Amino acid sequence: MKKLFAESIGTFCLVFTGTGAIIINDVSGGSVSHVGIALTFGLIVLAMIYTVGDISGAHLNPAVTLGFFAARRLDGRQVLPYIASQFMGAFAASGLLRILFPTHATLGATVPAGPAWQSFVLEAVLAVILMFVILNVSTGSKERGITAGLVVGAVIALAAMFAGPICGASMNPARSLAPALLSGHVAHLWVYLLAPPLGAGLAVFACRCVREEGCCVKLKTEFTS
């Protein structure tokens, strides 16, 4: 229960500060700025890894949890409880933001700026990069330590910095689902629910190719079995 509570609180903080930065930037005429929003996402993830990384691993993201499971670093019995806790934290954050900013149209929901397929590809590739980094700096199923916090936070800020204006750089189904449902912007929600887990799965294969011997044989066996 401590792990689940940590995941819920950590995801709440991520969604509240990250989408909150988007909302406040809108209502204040751009005072936060795009760079400020990107840094907010990166810094809150860094802070949560330091805060709850030794308890739950600070996944804060269903795609990351699924990635750890696919990499055989997380017991399958923990997957659904982790994901449920993350969604609970995200919805609590978006619900509070709805109360604080009742007239805001999107609540920081991720919406493609161009074609949906373009954002889908961007989200998938960003998720590959994020999960690849996480798997290589984490211990087991836990993101913890100075290296993990700095590197993962930097990757998230970097992704938001350059891809945010096009796809939102969510890489996180919980971060996208909560504001989308509470604001009613669900037309392109499938992009943000499917692309991150797909990218996380591809990152597991990439990590095996880098870290394990006989990668090509293993991949061929897995694809044909």
Joined together, the tokens standing for residue 61 give: 């993201």
| Residue with tokens 């499917």, as numbered in its chain | 194
Q: What is the CA radius of gyration of the chain?
A: 17
Domain count, the chain: 1
Q: How far apart are CA 81 and CA 179, in angstroms?
A: 21
Give the domain extent around 39: 2-224
Joined together, the tokens standing for residue 135 give: 């798997």
Q: How far apart are CA 62 and CA 198, in angstroms?
A: 12
pLDDT (tens digit, 0 to 9) for every residue of the chain, 225 residues total? 899 999 999 999 999 999 999 999 999 999 999 999 999 999 999 999 999 988 988 999 999 999 999 998 889 999 999 999 999 999 999 999 999 999 999 999 999 999 999 999 999 999 999 999 999 888 766 666 678 889 999 999 999 999 999 999 999 999 999 999 999 999 999 999 999 999 999 999 998 888 765 444 444 444 444
Which CATH number do you get for residue 161?
1.20.1080.10
Joined together, the tokens standing for residue 24 give: 């406040």
Phi and psi dihedrals of 56, rounded to 5?
-115, -10
